[in-house]
Amino acid sequence: MDTADDLTRLRSDEKPRRRPRRSSLAGKILVGVLAAVLPSVFFLSDAPLWWNRAHLLWNEYVHPQAQAASVSPIPLFAVVVPLSATKDPTYLAVMDVGSGRVLTRLTADGFGAGTPTITADRRLVYFSDPSGNVHVSDADGNNGRIVFRANDTCKYVRHVSISKVDNGHLLLQCRDRPAENQTDYHDFFELIDLQGLVVRRFDTTSSKLDDPSLSPDGRYLAYWGSSDTDVAGYPGGAIFVLDLASDREPKQLTSMSGSRDTDPAWAPDSRTLAFSREKDDEKSVFKISAAGGNPKRLVGNAQKASWSTDGNSLVAVRERSDDRDQLIRFTKNGHSVTVCSKPQRTIYAPVWSGR
């Protein structure tokens, strides 16, 4: 099936989607209140306790569900992508994959949004800012707010990835140096809940890390890693996969010699990764099994790929000879390469189904 058919089907898949019925939301509210009240109904002295339970359930489950349900999701045929009139990313936009038309601006010009990540229901977008804080925005660009601020431990957040299993945890790429001092730093990963509390910290054998990507099934973390000796100007490095459910060391998927492999992106089935490879000044998109093996080249003159929601297509960034970028799409086997946007000064890290 070619990418044109994929886009037609993805668009048709949007039509049956309807907002949840009010009766369903009312049921959730009733269940939440009853679950909080009934355990304490026979213990009047515990009234503050059951009130706190009800309040907690409302804040952490019922109210977020109702608020998210009121926001239209990002269409299946659209990507979230940082765009810029200069070399650095300056605003986030929702772009139609077929026409390259900007459907929605999520941030203002000059904001400097970092690599985005989207929730499984496509209603929320998370991203980092130049100061190392993490923001979230509704899919329509409204209700933007900070959900994590750089602190004494995680002094700068470079990238963020969200768990697609429960939308309840964020994976942060942290640095021990603030935004104004990005030299001689050490990278590490932190898993936090949506209230900003650290659930787990990951220290790896690589002192320099980048491009974290949680698998859709929530079990694995893929990332770029390198030792200090490989990092002058970010040459070298390899793709690693960490099994979050075990204490085993990260598995190195690609070689550190002769090329620079970056930007891992999971397919929806959590079995395959696309990644960028730079070798002899040429950038290409490859794919590789998460279990290991030989990588397969998909397309040349492209980088920073992201998979469609059905896993049949990918988008990537192609740099033109005039130093401008275009969005391209192609099949999972590297066929039917199509240019799908006008040239932009910078297109950085598009996200179709997740990162």
Domain boundary (69, 102, 132) is at 69
**Radius of gyration of the chain, Cα coordinates, nearest whole angstrom:** 21
pLDDT of residue 43: 33
pLDDT of residue 74: 95
- Burial label for 322, CB within 10 Å (0-12, 13-18, 19+), is exposed
Assigned domain for 10 exists? no
CA distance 59 to 70: 16
* N- to C-terminal Cα separation, the chain: 24
β-strand partners of 260 = 278
Do both 130 and 24 map to the same domain?
no
Assigned domain for 3 exists? no
Do both 30 and 144 map to the same domain?
no
Do both 105 and 149 map to the same domain?
yes
Do both 41 and 131 map to the same domain?
no
pLDDT of residue 313: 96
pLDDT of residue 196: 82
Do both 234 and 314 map to the same domain?
yes
For 152, what's the count of Cα atoms within 13 Å in the CB-facing half-sphere?
A: 0
Do both 62 and 122 map to the same domain?
no
Amino acid occupying residue 236: G
Q: What is the 3-state secondary structure (H, E, C) of the chain?
A: CCHHHHHHHHHHHHCCCCCCCHHHHHHHHHHHHHHHHHHHCCCHHHHHHHHHHHHHHHHHHHHHHHHHHCCCCCCCCEEEEEEECCCCCCEEEEEECCCCCEEEECCCCCCCCCCCEECCCCCEEEEECCCCCEEEEECCCCCCEEEECCCCCCCEEEEEEECCCCCCEEEEEEECCCCCCCCCCCEEEEEEECCCCEEEEECCCCCEEEEEEECCCCCEEEEEEECHHHCCCCCCCEEEEEECCCCCCCEECCCCCCCEEEEEEECCCCCEEEEEEEECCEEEEEEEECCCCCCEEEEECCEEEEECCCCCEEEEEEECCCCCEEEEEEECCCCCCEECCCCECEECCCECCCC
Assigned domain for 156 exists? yes
Q: Which domain does 25 fall in, by range?
A: 20-69
Dihedral Cα 115, 73, 165, 218, nearest 10 deg: -30
Amino acid occupying residue 136: V
Assigned domain for 14 exists? no
Do both 42 and 88 map to the same domain?
no
Do both 207 and 247 map to the same domain?
yes
Do both 52 and 175 map to the same domain?
no
Assigned domain for 128 exists? yes
Do both 33 and 176 map to the same domain?
no
- The CATH number that applies at residue 319 is 2.120.10.30
Do both 154 and 92 map to the same domain?
yes
Assigned domain for 12 exists? no
Assigned domain for 265 exists? yes
- Give 58-112 pLDDT, tens digit per residue: 444 444 445 556 789 999 999 999 988 776 668 999 999 988 899 999 988 767 6
Closest CA to 27 of 70, 71, 65: 65
Domain boundary (69, 91, 110) is at 69
Kindly state the tokens that stand for 80. Answer: 């979230």
> pTM here?
0.79
- Burial label for 310, CB within 10 Å (0-12, 13-18, 19+), is middle
Mean pLDDT by 10 residues, the chain (355 residues): 57 51 53 45 38 44 53 93 78 91 87 80 91 92 92 93 82 90 85 87 81 92 77 68 89 85 94 93 94 95 95 94 91 94 87 79
Assigned domain for 56 exists? yes
Do both 41 and 112 map to the same domain?
no
Number of domains in the chain: 2
pLDDT of residue 47: 41
